[in-house]
Structure 1
């Protein structure tokens, strides 16, 4: 049975159409999800940059996306521009850089797990601030290729100033 066309642009088409303008505005397109099963259909563009997205950025990117997508001959749809969710796995060096100062759980290639605060990132490694025995803090440099999975954790209380200092961020940056 042939797949019925929805008339909506494909994920590839949306990325190709928006990528240049988003990049000029300083943002990366992390994902595009097209949900033709909802009524009305929904096109979600997930974007990010160092420093994250604020409401003004989301509004600007939504306007840019809307103007570019309006040129397509497609049925009505809902456009949503958002930042990646906190549960997005960290898979690229830029993801770690953007999550600096955040608490994350890591699964390493040897099967071990580690929870720590993301610190400096560069040269294929990430510094992770961990609590050792007797509650001492230390920074462990972990090769990115030794990490099989890393996910930012939700925190309900603020980290200690020393932990943030070791992660290389000030309290205002976190």
Structure 2
């Protein structure tokens, strides 16, 4: 029954999210003892600020209340963006993570391979991963259809500009990322 309920919730909130420029990534209905929690995971190009998520949360809550899909019993709504360990399963996930380090498992001609690199350009179903080793850059092209698992990896190493440029990031995006890490 919760599968049907999550589908109904998704049907109600997706137009609100789409109108605000977000993609619906997941709906989960959790039922800890004595409560109901609705977790909705959203994403969009360029990310989202806490203020934007708070405003969107209010709009989603209003849509849920107006639809009656949640019934009379109280619930807690959590609207969030994907975490770092989220699997990359759609091309948009890869695009939105450009420049981040990713661990990828994929298969080529029946052989399993693993690679760690920064997500670079994506074109025609192929992602270029940028690897830095002792100041030397190299690339590995991976066909997205061959990927069996891919997750963004926590990387505390600060990449140099050449590495980020090889990922296809422009000056403005490189500066924005530097500001976030210079706290």
- Measured after TM superposition, the shift of residue 135 of structure 1 is 4.7
1:64 corresponds, among 59, 78, 81, to 59
TM-score normalized with structure 1 length: 0.89
Which structure shows the bigger proportion of residues in helix conformation? Answer: 2
- What does residue range 58-97 of structure 1 map to in structure 2 within 5 Å? 58-71=53-66, 72=68, 73-97=71-95
- What value does the CA root-mean-square deviation take over the aligned residues? 1.8
SS in 2 for 1:59: helix
2:36 is aligned to: 41
User: Aligned equivalents of 2:15 and 2:8: distance in 1?
Assistant: 12
1:17 is aligned to: 12
SS in 1 for 2:62: helix
SS in 2 for 1:118: strand
Question: In 1, are the aligned partners of 2:129 and 2:141 still within 8 Å (CA)?
Answer: yes
- What does residue range 85-124 of structure 1 map to in structure 2 within 5 Å? 85-109=83-107, 110-124=111-125
- Measured after TM superposition, the shift of residue 92 of structure 1 is 0.6
1:159 is aligned to: 159
User: Aligned equivalents of 2:36 and 2:117: distance in 1?
Assistant: 40
- Measured after TM superposition, the shift of residue 141 of structure 1 is 2.1
User: Aligned equivalents of 1:108 and 1:135: distance in 2?
Assistant: 26
- Measured after TM superposition, the shift of residue 140 of structure 1 is 2.3
User: Aligned equivalents of 2:82 and 2:129: distance in 1?
Assistant: 21
TM-score normalized with structure 2 length: 0.85
Structure 2, gaps ≥5 residues long: 178-183
1:171 is aligned to: 174
- Measured after TM superposition, the shift of residue 53 of structure 1 is 1.7
Structure 1, gaps ≥5 residues long: none
SS in 1 for 2:29: strand
CA pair 172-38 structure 1, distance change in 2 beyond 3 A: farther
SS in 2 for 1:37: coil
Q: Deviations along 1:101-122, whole A, 9 cap, x unmatched?
A: 1000000113111000001112
User: Aligned equivalents of 1:98 and 1:124: distance in 2?
Assistant: 15
